[in-house]
A and B are shown apart, each in its own frame.
Chain A
């Protein structure tokens, strides 16, 4: 059984969906943040991939592209001790409060 990301030749009868996904601003910023962290030597493409590839099958298949990147980025930032998941939780709570 290949790993979750190793999709070449994986049985799939779905038609290819040709519609383009209009990028949301938050996705554009995740894309950019990934580039910024790369330029600062805080992550490289192989690390991002390794983190994405460690997602379990259900998560891997259900998340949209930049959602996977976000999950992977959290793993890498926490792993490197740049921030903790608790700090992110707390900041999310503050942001939610601000949206009310």
Chain B
């Protein structure tokens, strides 16, 4: 279990017990209930990259919606039924084009558009990505197997506790006439962070 450097073992045992103790004390003191915690856990679990993919596929399919999404993401999310809690940090959608490729990072921590696409992947929170992506973004893209044309400008966007970014990947060629549901299958978590591109249409089974 320790091979990923995720600190399983002594640290995990120590901190899991302290977390359980704090939780038990908070419940005893009437600060919150177990039900509050489990309801919140289920709510967090319910958000996933599929939600982001659905929204971004709609933007590919509907140019007017795309304009609204890029201008005011939160209002556009709401159109599709995604109501961000008041306490949620602001989310901006940034478009990747033939000229500019954007990638998101949180060099300071792990800030991520969780309210729309769920918890960040493990690598996003680790030191290697956070350190390297601003120094050598093209090298990092290569680590993800992502090739860009020489002429494409690469921009790295640093997130913060208050501002988070969702990348609208470039719509791949050969996707004309595909349904939104099909298009959403091309939009991966990596492509919404900008370390990957949307999948080519050949890569998904046609139904």
Known: A21-B4, A66-B15. A95 touches B126 (CB 8 A): no
- Asked if A10 contacts B131 (CB within 8 A), the reply is yes
Residue-wise, chain A 34-53 has the 8 Å CB interface mask toward B (1 for contact) of 01111110101110010011
- Asked if B5 contacts A91 (CB within 8 A), the reply is no
Residue of A nearest to B190 (CB): A18
**Whole-angstrom distance from the CB of A62 to the nearest CB of chain B?**
7
**Whole-angstrom distance from the CB of A68 to the nearest CB of chain B?**
9
Interface residue tally on B, bucketed by range: 35 or more
Cβ contacts under 8 Å, A20 to chain B: 121-122
- Asked if A38 contacts B36 (CB within 8 A), the reply is no
Interface size counted on chain A using CB atoms at 8 A = 59
B26 contact from A33, A38, A45, A65, Cβ within 8 A: A33
Cβ contacts under 8 Å, B38 to chain A: 32
**Whole-angstrom distance from the CB of A34 to the nearest CB of chain B?**
9
**Whole-angstrom distance from the CB of A5 to the nearest CB of chain B?**
5
- Asked if B25 contacts A83 (CB within 8 A), the reply is yes
- Asked if A87 contacts B25 (CB within 8 A), the reply is yes
Known: A20-B122, A28-B41. A15 touches B128 (CB 8 A): yes
Contact sample, A vs B, 30 pairs, CB 8 Å cutoff = A5-B108, A8-B108, A8-B131, A8-B135, A12-B128, A14-B128, A16-B140, A20-B122, A32-B44, A33-B22, A36-B37, A36-B40, A37-B31, A45-B89, A49-B109, A52-B109, A64-B6, A67-B11, A67-B12, A70-B16, A70-B18, A77-B26, A82-B31, A88-B21, A91-B21, A92-B17, A92-B20, A95-B17, A95-B24, A96-B17
Q: Which residues of B contact A (CB under 8 A)?
A: 4-8, 11-12, 15-26, 29, 31-32, 36-38, 40-41, 43-45, 87, 89, 105, 107-111, 119, 121-123, 125-132, 134-135, 140, 143-144, 158, 161-162
